[in-house]
Amino acid sequence: MPRKAKVAKDLKYYPKWKVRKKNRCPICGRPRGFIRYFNMCRLCFRERALRGELPGVRKSSW
């Protein structure tokens, strides 16, 4: 878990250019492995997908 101060800093920080914005998972605060389409990190995405909380997402098998 990131420090609360680091998460708060990234949330209130308004970058000079849009490309400087850092995406963070709103659930756990993780800055890496962010999936924009679902607006969460890969770990939170996987947890919710396996529990069936994300509509249209299912585990692949072939």
For residues 21 and 23, give the distance between their C-alpha atoms in angstroms, rounded to a whole number.
6
59 is in an annotated binding site: no
Residue 27 labelled as part of a binding site: no
Q: Is 39 annotated as a binding residue?
A: no
49 is in an annotated binding site: no
State how far the Cα of 33 lies from the Cα of 19, in Å rounded to an integer.
17
Contact 40, 24 (CB under 8 A): no
Residues annotated in a binding site for Zn(2+): 25, 28, 41, 44
Binding site, annotated residues: 25, 28, 41, 44
